[in-house]
Structure 1
């Protein structure tokens, strides 16, 4: 069956499942060798890209005339902009870089190299996300829909701040399971259309289901803090705080590592660890 799947994938120009593991390993090695300047610039871009997707998501889901399911699905579809930009334009996104565990588990890179990449990319993603949040705050975008976009943005941030740590952790696990599957699928494609189509459904699913993406939260929660400082209020919403933001991000980051690293990267590594003998 594996041989049939490999042949079918090759026939349409796609990488097979076994080839994907080797490709992800190569990508991980290349990422580990990027200089600090490249990691920081590409990480800042990724934070801004995810922020752009979050910005459109907030605008769409502020429309209370939509049904719940319709609002979630449409919001998820528009949020896909963020990862499409990361995958096609090229950027360093922490949640996708969790897949570097494949190269680490195969002994191609060290744990120190993985930690270096994750730490620098997380910092750069945070800078890019906060920068985009500030740009959105002063752009007038939040005044759309008679100011409901601003109110809804604060509601989103407050909801995240109010999540208990167990829920936030497992929500982070579920999120990056889907995000890393989206990245994994995009590696199978060889054209821009392939990559965009591969990204859409997993990303739309995680957003529609309300799972927690650490880099998106780096946009939503600082924006909530900015709105709070600007005097925006939302009835019945827990107040977003700096301490709550930091604690939430740490827990979600850990969940994202488990969801993408263990449930996608390492499982595929173990599945194809032993290569079949040639016929």
Structure 2
């Protein structure tokens, strides 16, 4: 078997076939795979928080190394197998090609988003009960609260565009991983775009479903040197709504439909 990577034209076909399979999976299979993906992204966020909590690192080191370890989340999704809402925004390619219907695409997105949420929240409670946040004299707990408060304080427009930029990079990571034929190929394809999105401070809706609830649970447990008035259920919704919308636009339109136009729609006009 050839070990060369798939070309972008071949990746489009891979994405089309994968998207059709995704929307046709039985509900229970999609639901369980979604739960796994939510937990996997939460594990990546946990790994990132350990780095973020260490004040001996410089800002750049924390952001870049933190982004590098956060990549574990998407690596688990792609290599171990799971269904992630932000990655599934690429189903828009199959929708534009009329291989899946609007109803099928939206149904998949709804199932996967809510199962991702269940996976992320389940991990929150397991991690909370494990006492992981007490490590290093509670600095990890403080990091969760600070990050959660900062996310809840973002203006709508800022959160939207950070979500948009995030999912451009996440979907590019998924896109390039589909071009690889080995586990090593896929990991290398994922690491750089994911490291960049985290290092740049962009917003991922599923990761936020782990970080913000952790902050909510921990905000009264330790003395935090910030005002946490924005850290609340309503603050979480104020973050998730624009970030979710930004994720959808970035992944489905600026990656999915863009590549559809370049490699499929334009090709049809050229061939006709």
**Band the TM-score falls in, shorter-chain normalisation:** over 0.9
Indicate the residue corresponding to 2:225 in structure 1. Answer: 235
8 Å Cα contact 2:3/2:181 also seen in 1: no
For residues 110 and 228 of structure 2, what CA distance do their matches in structure 1 show? 30
- SS of equivalent to 2:221: coil
Deviation at 1:247, TM superposition (A): 2.6
Cα offsets for 1:51-77 (capped at 9, x unmatched):
001011111110001000011111001
For residues 247 and 233 of structure 1, what CA distance do their matches in structure 2 show? 25
8 Å Cα contact 2:177/2:189 also seen in 1: yes
Runs in 1 of length 4+ with deviation above 6 angstroms? none
For residues 2 and 35 of structure 2, what CA distance do their matches in structure 1 show? 38
8 Å Cα contact 1:76/1:207 also seen in 2: yes
Tell me, which stretches of 5 or more residues in structure 2 are unaligned?
none
Indicate the residue corresponding to 1:3 in structure 2. Answer: none
Deviation at 1:12, TM superposition (A): 4.7
- Structure 1 residue 268 corresponds to structure 2 residue 262: no
For residues 98 and 215 of structure 2, what CA distance do their matches in structure 1 show? 42
For residues 73 and 95 of structure 1, what CA distance do their matches in structure 2 show? 21
Indicate the residue corresponding to 2:97 in structure 1. Answer: 106
Deviation at 1:238, TM superposition (A): 3.0
Matches within 5 A, 1:1-279: 12-228=3-219, 230-239=220-229, 240-273=231-264, 274-275=266-267
For residues 53 and 186 of structure 2, what CA distance do their matches in structure 1 show? 29
Q: What CA RMSD, in Å, does the superposition of the two structures yield over aligned residues? A: 1.5
Provide the TM-score with structure 2 as the length reference: 0.95
Count of residues in correspondence between the two structures = 268
Tell me, which stretches of 5 or more residues in structure 1 are unaligned?
1-9
Cα offsets for 1:106-130 (capped at 9, x unmatched):
0000011011000011100000001
Instruction: Single out whichever of 36-45 and 268-277 deviates more from structure 2.
Output: 268-277
Indicate the residue corresponding to 1:5 in structure 2. Answer: none
Instruction: Single out whichever of 113-122 and 267-276 deviates more from structure 2.
Output: 267-276
8 Å Cα contact 2:138/2:222 also seen in 1: no
For residues 100 and 152 of structure 2, what CA distance do their matches in structure 1 show? 36
